């Protein structure tokens, strides 16, 4: 049996096998976790249990007072989960925390995906490239010193290219300058990687992907990663936009035809006479499909208020906090 341990304040997720301590599992999965004596004496590995229960290899050897145990203090070098946990431990660093760098990339290809969405294909200018994981985002810089965050739209590839979907309107100062920069020399500066919303197949739970507007880009990267590692967990993508034309990609329909474990539900945020599909709040549409979210894991991307409202609603209907993955949770 494997228990899931959600670590705050970093919003990391750790998988602990039966009979394994939290620390041993963290080190096995290449986390940096504070510890010293590994004998439940020094207290370096200590933290707080916010939810769940643990047991110890040798309870009599654990140097904790009754008051500390009542407060939820635990020594994780010896503590073994008896259930899924939410814990708080300062100083934990997860393996996805790759170093952030700024590097020049050149634009090899660009095209309009819609009247508002531009696709960019960027390749490293030199031998160095940004190492990232599916689900992470980067910052694009323009010549005025401005920068803006964009989810990397593709899973990591052997040629190190980065695909971005950039929303552009005529009154957007940042993208107007960026497009002028591209036209002038086709080279831009990228800073990254950032973000902790990564694909977690070891949770062994059906996956719900919630995308609002251009939040589809992050879901595309995560889905590509799931295919690369031959994931067979059921995946259901809900994508909400304001207007029908805002569905700027046909990929979800193609995935639904190609992969038996993938399902797609497009949603308009308000009703339209010419629209026969789902409409309304995306969490209400998802709830119609899944009255109980307690057995699911959820990835969410899009406007912060939408993401937080969706996850709050899903929590009220069974979703466990340790199975919620969204950049909005880091804010």
Q: Is pLDDT at 83 greater than 80 in this prediction?
A: yes
Query: Do residue 79 and residue 31 come from a single domain?
Result: yes
Higher per-residue confidence, 30 vs 296: 296
Give the separation between CA 278 and CA 288, rounded to whole angstroms. 10
Query: Do residue 113 and residue 59 come from a single domain?
Result: no
pLDDT score, position 104: 95
Query: Do residue 61 and residue 137 come from a single domain?
Result: no
Report if residue 55 sits inside a domain: yes
Question: Which of residues 159, 194, 229 is at a domain's end?
Answer: 194
Give the separation between CA 81 and CA 113, rounded to whole angstroms. 48
Query: Do residue 144 and residue 31 come from a single domain?
Result: no
Report if residue 94 sits inside a domain: no
Domain that residue 177 falls in? 101-194
pLDDT score, position 62: 86
Task: Report CA dihedral (255, 310, 165, 127) to the nearest 10 degrees.
Answer: -90
Q: Which two tokens stand for residue 7?
A: 């670590």
Query: Do residue 232 and residue 324 come from a single domain?
Result: yes
Give the separation between CA 51 and CA 326, rounded to whole angstroms. 20
Sign of CA dihedral 222, 177, 129, 191: negative
Q: Is pLDDT at 91 greater than 90 in this prediction?
A: no
Higher per-residue confidence, 108 vs 330: 108
Q: Which two tokens stand for residue 287?
A: 């709830």
Average pLDDT, integer, range 213-233:
93
What CATH number does residue 182 fall under?
2.40.30.10
Q: Is pLDDT at 316 greater than 90 in this prediction?
A: yes
pLDDT band at 20 (very low <50, low <70, confident <90, very high): very high
Query: Do residue 165 and residue 235 come from a single domain?
Result: no
Report if residue 212 sits inside a domain: yes
Least confident range of 61-70, 160-169, 264-273: 61-70
Query: Do residue 137 and residue 79 come from a single domain?
Result: no
- Please tell me whether the overall predicted TM-score, pTM, comes out greater than 0.85 for this model: no
Query: Do residue 46 and residue 21 come from a single domain?
Result: yes
Give the separation between CA 323 and CA 37, rounded to whole angstroms. 32
Report if residue 248 sits inside a domain: yes
Query: Do residue 217 and residue 168 come from a single domain?
Result: no
Report if residue 265 sits inside a domain: yes
Query: Do residue 38 and residue 121 come from a single domain?
Result: no
Q: State the total domains in the chain.
A: 3
Query: Do residue 219 and residue 308 come from a single domain?
Result: yes
What CATH number does residue 76 fall under?
3.10.20.30
Q: Is pLDDT at 30 greater than 90 in this prediction?
A: no
DSSP per-residue letters across 209-274 = EEEEGGGHHHHHHHHHHHHHTT--S-EEEEEEESSGGG----HHHHHHHH-TTEEEEEEESS--TT
Q: Give residue for tokens 């910052």.
A: 139
Question: Which of residues 178, 194, 210 is at a domain's end?
Answer: 194
Give the separation between CA 307 and CA 215, rounded to whole angstroms. 10
Query: Do residue 226 and residue 290 come from a single domain?
Result: yes
Q: Which two tokens stand for residue 190?
A: 């990228």
Q: Could you report the per-residue pLDDT of 275-284, keeping only the tens digit for each?
A: 989 999 999 9
Phi then psi for 305, rounded to 5 degrees? Answer: -65, -40
As a whole number of angstroms, the longest Cα–Cα distance in the chain is 70
Higher per-residue confidence, 77 vs 42: 77
Q: Which residues pair with 8 in a beta bridge?
A: 88
Asked if residue 193 has a cis previous peptide bond (ω within 30° of 0), the answer is yes
Question: Which of residues 194, 210, 233 is at a domain's end?
Answer: 194
């Amino acid at each position: 049996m494997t228990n899931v341990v959600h670590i705050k304040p970093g919003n990391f997720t750790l998988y602990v096998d039966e009979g394994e301590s939290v620390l041993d599992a963290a080190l096995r999965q290449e986390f940096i976790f504070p510890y010293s004596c590994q004998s439940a004496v020094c207290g370096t590995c200590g933290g707080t249990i916010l939810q769940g229960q643990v047991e110890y290899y040798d309870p009599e050897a654990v140097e904790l007072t009754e008051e500390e145990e009542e407060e939820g203090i635990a020594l994780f070098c010896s503590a073994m989960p008896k259930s899924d946990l939410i814990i708080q431990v300062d100083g934990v660093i997860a393996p996805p925390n790759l170093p952030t760098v700024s590097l020049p990339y050149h634009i090899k290809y660009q095209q309009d995906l819609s009247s508002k969405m531009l696709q960019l294909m960027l390749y490293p200018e030199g031998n160095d490239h940004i190492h990232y994981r599916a689900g992470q985002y980067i910052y694009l810089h323009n010549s005025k010193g401005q920068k803006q965050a964009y989810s990397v739209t593709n899973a990591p590839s052997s040629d190190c290219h980065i695909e971005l979907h950039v929303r552009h309107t005529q009154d957007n100062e940042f993208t107007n300058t960026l497009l002028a920069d591209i036209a002038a020399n086709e080279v831009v500066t990228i800073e990254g990687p950032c973000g902790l919303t990564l694909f977690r197949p070891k949770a062994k739970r059906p996956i719900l992907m919630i995308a609002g507007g251009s939040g589809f880009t992050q879901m595309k990267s995560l889905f590509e990663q799931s295919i690369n590692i031959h994931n067979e967990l059921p995946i259901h993508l809900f994508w909400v936009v304001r207007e029908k034309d805002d569905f700027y990609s046909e990929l979800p329909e193609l995935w639904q035809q190609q992969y038996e474990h993938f399902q797609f539900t497009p949603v308009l945020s308000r009703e339209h006479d010419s629209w026969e599909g789902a409409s309304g709040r995306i969490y209400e549409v998802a709830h119609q499909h899944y009255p109980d979210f307690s057995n699911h894991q959820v990835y969410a991307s899009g406007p912060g208020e939408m993401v937080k409202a969706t996850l709050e609603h899903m929590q009220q209907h069974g979703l466990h906090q340790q199975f919620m993955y969204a950049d909005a949770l880091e804010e």
